[in-house]
Amino acid sequence: MEAIIEACLHGLGEMRISAVQWGEIAAVQRKRLGAQVQDRLLSSLMELQFRIVPATAERAVRAAAIRVDRKISNADSYAIELAMDSPDHLLVTADYDFKAVTDLARIEFLPAK
């Protein structure tokens, strides 16, 4: 993951995350650590220059189809939908629920969740 972040910070790629996933990160951190830590964590992540991709009506419909057809979570369906935008995109995750959609996009699994 460090190599990916470094490459993106040097202009050799772009890290994207859907607004739905961003909200999921915010919710989990707020629940686990509280509002102040959540705010600091999100600020730190923003320094990594993530591009937060809006959840448009079109994306929502495509993500819904993936969610229903592949029986994955709502946030995960937005992640795979975003990865499907281009064959150049790579979804990097430690969430092995994405095994159900490996045929839809390029996915690299990290060793632990």
Cα 15 to Cα 81: distance, rounded to the nearest angstrom: 15
Cα 67 to Cα 76: distance, rounded to the nearest angstrom: 8
What does the pLDDT look like over 20-66, one tens digit per residue? 999 999 999 999 999 999 999 999 888 888 899 999 999 999 999 99
Cα 70 to Cα 64: distance, rounded to the nearest angstrom: 10
- 107 has which bridge partners? 91
- Residue 61: predicted pLDDT: 98
As given in the structure block, the two tokens for residue 64 are 């819904």
The band of 113, judged by pLDDT with boundaries at 50, 70 and 90, is low
Mean residue pLDDT of the chain comes to 91
> For residues 74 and 5, which has the higher predicted lDDT (pLDDT)?
74
**Secondary structure (DSSP) of 6-51:** HHHHTTS---EEEHHHHHHHHHHHHHHH-HHHHHHHHHHHHTTTPE
- 17 has which bridge partners? 52
What does the pLDDT look like over 75-85, one tens digit per residue? 999 999 999 99
Q: Could you tell me the pTM of the whole model? A: 0.84
Report whether 65 contacts 47 (CB < 8 A): no
Could you give the domains of the chain?
2-109 (3.40.50.1010)
Q: In 3-state terms, what secondary structure has residue 93?
A: strand
Q: Which residue has the tokens 């959840």?
A: 55
